[in-house]
Chains A and B, each alone.
Chain A
Amino acid sequence: MSSNGRGTVEARDLVLSFGATPALRGASLAAAAGEIVAVMGPSGSGKSTLLHCLAGILVPTSGEVWFDGRRVDTMPEARRSGLRRDHFGFVFQFGQLVPELTAEENVALPLLLAGVRRPAALTRVRGWFSRLGLDGLEQRRSGELSGGQAQRVALARALVTKPQVVFADEPTGSLDSLAGEQVMDLLVAAAREQGTTVILVTHEPRVAAYADREVIVRDGRSTVPATVATSS
């Protein structure tokens, strides 16, 4: 957990439809600072929509989204955009690296967008390459990286600004078991070290098992499973 308590996120009773199709029908989720929460559920259940609302990418029709005591869903887009740039990191199923840029430039992108000068940004980036086992790949473009390598570059890009919250949407969905495991090991280790809150959308139980706890989303509604003693 983060010692300064920053990085709390909460969704309260969110409702959102895409046209006539309801995506969220009263979904809630609260994550404490430094907590890793897995959001699970079947395809189309609304788990990615919930993540996008928490991250200020989508705005719910009703309900509230909070980040560190600030109401996010009522902010104008410019402020939500600033929040995403300055406080959040993102990892998606397909790394979504900019193909024209080198791996190093991809990781530096959030720093450059935040106004860090290029030499300083590249210096900060290089530490992440060795940390994530990417030494020697700095000048490669995304087409020259394996799926696992590209996803680790995406992970570095999400973490390089030391965000308070990382939103990860099926971060291992396109990887084999071993590469997925490496990505999760690195994500969890970095998040624990930096006290970063992680909201992890996944339909894979083995990925969810890296989280501190899970929230299940089904038909746009969330449930928090009760903890029980096992019996046969």
Chain B
Amino acid sequence: MYDDGVSVPLTLLGLLERESSHGYDLKRDYDTYFGRGRPLPFGQVYATLGRLARDGKVVISEVGPGVGPDRKRYVITEVGATEVDSWLTTPVEPEPHQQTVLFAKVVLAMMLGRPAEEYLDLQRGAHLQRMRELTEVKRTGDLVDALLADHGLFHLEADLRWIELTAARLDALAKSVRP
């Protein structure tokens, strides 16, 4: 699965723009929508909220009786809301992935006179196996699961197109990388 490096601080800020919240509730919502099997540790939630407060992006609106960090209710500030808006409206950097491991393997295999086509066949099999797993997630999961699985499926499909094209160009590639 591709990891686009979900920003925990920005995602928590986004959740706080929806409504002010306690740390516990933020963690629960994050895990439900964005964690996907990788729950956010409580320590990271509170450390992040602490940094956001220090930077003026959230404020603590109330501290209930008793002890413990869950007594604090966090509210997004104008600075925080501006940052969320800026993040949402700025396109993600398109990553061309021009130096992938697979690319390096193919070129090296050709340089060494090894069977690059077999490597590509193996990689195709591995990609399709992962695509089957994600398709099953889609078929059995909820819409949020399906959305995330689709993201992975389209990326894997792009890799497979590259694999097919490269397989068709191996003869030409061999001439260009071998002295």
Known A185-B139, A216-B121, A225-B121; contact A206-B126, beta-carbon cutoff 8 A: no
User: Does B114 interact with chain A (Cβ within 8 Å)?
Assistant: no
Contact with A along B147-177 (1 / 0, CB 8 A): 0000001101100100010001000000000
Q: Cα distance A210–B136 when bound, in Å? A: 8
Chain B residues with CB below 8 A from A113, complex form: none
User: What is the chain A residue whose CB lies nearest that of B101?
Assistant: A232
Candidates A188, A216, A230; contact of B124 at CB < 8 Å: A216
Interface residues on A, range: 20 to 34
User: Does A96 interact with chain B (Cβ within 8 Å)?
Assistant: no
Are A206 and B125 within 8 A (Cβ)? no
Are B153 and A228 within 8 A (Cβ)? no
User: Does B127 interact with chain A (Cβ within 8 Å)?
Assistant: yes
User: Does B131 interact with chain A (Cβ within 8 Å)?
Assistant: yes
User: Does B28 interact with chain A (Cβ within 8 Å)?
Assistant: no
Chain B residues with CB below 8 A from A115, complex form: none
**Using a CB-CB cutoff of 8 Å, which residues 162-185 of chain A contact chain B?**
185
Q: Cα distance A230–B132 when bound, in Å? A: 15
Interface of B is mostly: helix
Candidates B101, B125, B126, B131; contact of A209 at CB < 8 Å: B131
The minimal Cβ–Cβ distance linking B134 to chain A, given in whole angstroms, is 7
User: Does A208 interact with chain B (Cβ within 8 Å)?
Assistant: yes
User: Does A214 interact with chain B (Cβ within 8 Å)?
Assistant: yes
Are B132 and A209 within 8 A (Cβ)? yes
Are A209 and B168 within 8 A (Cβ)? no
Chain A residues with CB below 8 A from B32, complex form: none
Contact with B along A196-214 (1 / 0, CB 8 A): 0000000011101111101
User: What is the chain A residue whose CB lies nearest that of B122?
Assistant: A228
Are B128 and A227 within 8 A (Cβ)? no
**New contact pairs (6) apart from A205-B131, A209-B132, CB-CB < 8 Å:** A205-B157, A208-B128, A209-B128, A209-B153, A212-B132, A232-B101
**Closest 5 A/B residue pairs (Cβ):** A225-B125, A209-B131, A209-B135, A205-B160, A230-B126
